[in-house]
């Protein structure tokens, strides 16, 4: 009897969903996923399919690192940017640096049939306050951690926020978008 009820329910759900957009159909699954929180992942090739969510870093020299964050399908680009900035600050602080600058930034959407994951990559250089001239926009490690860590640790995980993020990510991918410009007001790139 339970198998028959499950089959009838699934058939009914298929009929109800037949008139929905692809984003809405797939978005119904979003309740099961969570926005990406501050969690480490192993460094993976960002060109590979299906990267784990979270942050990673790769050292270039004593003061320069490439920081990346990969968001879940219900994570906004802004949340992925915040995650990358927080990790940049925490990594710098753990190495004794007070400030950092973003030398290069890239944000893109990893698109597949049913998923759209925001990927943010920052190249950062660390130093003390007097290491950077006034023309370069630098971040304080302490200020970034105090301002952004609460948002990164407790992202909005409401059903509405997750569905909104999922649909926005999928629409971007379905509209032919492959890259997104990082909001210059959110990430200060020195140049």
- Give residue 140's pLDDT: 92
- Give residue 93's pLDDT: 95
User: Exposure of 103 by Cβ count < 10 A (0-12 exposed, 13-18 middle, 19+ buried)?
Assistant: middle
User: Quick one: angle between helices 141-153 and 77-94, nearest 10?
Assistant: 130
- Give residue 156's pLDDT: 84
pLDDT along the chain (191 residues), means of 10: 47 45 49 66 51 82 93 88 94 95 88 83 90 78 94 86 88 71 59 55
Residue pair 105/93 in contact by the 8 Å Cβ criterion: no
- Give residue 34's pLDDT: 73
Q: What is the CA radius of gyration of the chain?
A: 19
- Give residue 17's pLDDT: 43
The β-bridge partners of 161 are none
- Give residue 108's pLDDT: 84
- Give residue 13's pLDDT: 43
- Give residue 8's pLDDT: 43
């Amino acid at each position: 009897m339970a198998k028959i009820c499950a089959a009838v329910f699934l058939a009914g759900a298929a009929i109800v969903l037949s008139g929905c957009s692809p984003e809405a159909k797939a978005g119904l699954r979003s309740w099961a996923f969570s926005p990406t929180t501050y969690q480490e992942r192993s460094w993976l090739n960002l060109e590979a399919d299906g990267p784990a969510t979270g942050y990673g870093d790769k050292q270039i020299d004593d003061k320069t690192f490439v920081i990346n964050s990969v968001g879940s399908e219900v994570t906004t680009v802004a949340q992925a940017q915040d995650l990358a900035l927080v990790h940049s600050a925490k990594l710098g602080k753990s190495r004794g640096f007070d400030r950092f600058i973003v030398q290069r930034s890239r944000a893109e959407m990893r698109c597949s049939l049913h998923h759209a994951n925001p990927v943010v990559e920052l190249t950062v250089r660390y130093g003390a306050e007097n290491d950077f001239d006034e023309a370069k926009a630098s971040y304080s490690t302490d200020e970034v951690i105090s301002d952004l860590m609460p948002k990164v640790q407790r992202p909005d995980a409401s059903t509405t926020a997750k569905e909104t993020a999922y649909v926005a990510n999928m629409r971007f991918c379905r509209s032919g978008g492959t890259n997104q410009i990082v909001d210059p007001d959110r990430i200060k790139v020195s140049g």
